[in-house]
Chain A
């Protein structure tokens, strides 16, 4: 390639800008985690230095683990996220298969109908959703959250998965039909394994907003039994405004699981975004 486009100053400049922004992006996260391991004096005396043997203190973590019922909140979040994810992927893949595989009257209309939810946020229906949940006795149950998140995740899942399902070879499916496989077997045995990578992409996209959501847990399931970790952290942080050790430790505990998952799945997520599935 020509030297004009890749001169040394230009490369250094690019790295300088990117490094600066990386520092801005990571600074708050590192700051919070770093200070969560310090004593109160350490937090206020030297907030920008890593914990030293003198300032190292786990008092924040012991407070959090002693006070809040975080293990329980964590379980709730996990149940809600995993169950919603399962239904979004299963129902989404089934609908995407029907839309991409068969030609029937109303196919395009059905696709547009399901795509509506990508642009119009489900939150705007909250007033009626709450009434629905009250009427069906589902308030303060995890089922309510699972139902809402399933509906929320479906439009994008159907949209992305049907793009991918169109790429599955017709010959393969027809070969299956000639061998006498039912349409259900073709879907579960032939097509689903082939679109597994795109299912992983959809899973990551669906998972992050569900895990992080505050609105619906706050409105539909605020009871102690059903609190999710996001809502629990919010209330806990509100209570302990002056206990900085506990706040920083709670924040770190909330960051770490997401961060670990992200590091594991980041390749999948970034490949999903950059593969052009979301055009």
Chain B
């Protein structure tokens, strides 16, 4: 055969050596457990042994009111959590980045550093600090609202069903606004000066310049931020857990998929933990995140490519 007449290249063992540790750890601790979790969702523990039950766990999750009410509630809350991030966090991030990137702005480094501080703090700190601030016992929040004459509007937000989720979403926005700010800031800095100068020659300055020139150019970054927000939100757990506990009170009004998964998997109070149902919920979260990533890759990314340099 033709291939054998040529001297064969020696096997390059070093490629394997370089790749092996990362691939092994990643496969063993991340990919296989992920696949294992998806698989577990199709099994059920009957008399101490795992039995294949097909989609029966999912039938329970969607059909049994004990599960389905909680699941839809968690999903609905999670969607609202995400909407608030998209409507509040990302516009604020874009605004701050646009201001920061204006040329010859003094103290830009200070602002950048300070606004990013909440992002590096752990959820435990953020959750508890805000819980204290919003607490009616301490009275910091009503005290502050008194300054602007809005004291009458104060209620213990975290304790009221209709406000708790929104309040916690805003706390999460407060924590993570630094990330869209930084990424948009980087995108704005990378716009070539020629483009801006050409716009100025054509008389497009100020706000018009931002809307017509800069915004279309940073759309790919906004797309990335949206998908990062999506994945982060549908995987969130820590903030709700630290602020409201695993029961995501009051009356499950702040329950999101992460806390629901935790309760299903480990059990809480009267409910016994159930790894198979936990796996089924994790599978649903996986499918939701996968769907989001696919939408991003196929729709947003292909359409936005055109704007890139």
Contacts and interface: CB of A to CB of B under 8 A. Distances in A.
Interface of A: 1-2, 4-6, 10-11, 14-15, 17-19, 21-22, 24-26, 28-29, 31-32, 43-44, 47-48, 87, 90-92, 94-95, 97-99, 102, 104, 110, 114, 116-117, 119-132, 147-148, 150-152, 154-155, 158, 182-184, 187, 208, 211-215, 219, 230, 233-234, 237, 244, 247-248, 251, 254-255, 258-259, 262-263, 266, 269-270, 273-276, 278-279
Nearest to A236: B124
A200 to B, nearest CB: 15
A273 B178 CA distance: 11
Contacts of A47: 138-140, 143
B14 A184 contact: yes
Interface stretch (B73-81, B82-90, B93-101, B248-256): B93-101
Contacts of A266: 113, 116
Contacts of A279: 224
The 6 closest A-B pairs by CB, nearest first: A128-B36, A212-B122, A125-B33, A151-B29, A95-B22, A98-B18
Interface in B272-294: 275, 278-279, 282, 285-286, 289-290, 293
B133 A28 contact: yes
B300 to A, nearest CB: 13
A128 B21 contact: no
B143 A259 contact: no
Contacts of B68: none
Chain B's interface size range is 35 or more
14 contacts: A18-B107, A28-B133, A31-B133, A44-B139, A47-B138, A47-B140, A48-B143, A94-B19, A95-B22, A128-B40, A131-B275, A154-B25, A187-B18, A270-B112
A102 B122 contact: no
A274 B189 contact: yes
B23 A119 contact: no
Contact of B124 (A24, A121, A214): A214
Interface of B: 12, 14-15, 17-19, 21-23, 25-26, 28-37, 40, 92, 95-96, 99-100, 102-107, 110-126, 128-130, 132-133, 138-140, 143-144, 174, 177-178, 182-183, 185-186, 189-190, 200, 205-206, 209, 224, 227, 231, 235, 237-238, 241-242, 258, 261, 265-266, 275, 278-279, 282, 285-286, 289-290, 293
Nearest to A11: B105
B29 A102 contact: no
A117 B60 CA distance: 29
A152 B25 contact: no
Contact of B205 (A5, A22, A276): A5
A128 B37 contact: yes
Nearest to A252: B125
A255 B120 CA distance: 9
B99 A234 contact: no
Contacts of A219: 266
A239 to B, nearest CB: 12
Contacts of B286: 120, 124
Given A262-B120, A270-B182, A154 B99 contact: no
A31 B242 CA distance: 19
Contact of A123 (B123, B235, B279): B235
B104 A6 contact: yes
A14 B178 CA distance: 17
A43 B140 CA distance: 10
B29 A150 contact: yes
Contacts of B116: 262, 266, 269-270
Given A214-B237, A251-B125, 13 more contacts: A4-B205, A5-B103, A6-B103, A10-B206, A25-B114, A87-B21, A114-B26, A124-B34, A127-B37, A132-B33, A155-B26, A214-B122, A274-B186
A154 B22 contact: yes
Given A98-B18, A266-B116, A247 B128 contact: yes
A258 B120 contact: yes
B99 A14 contact: yes
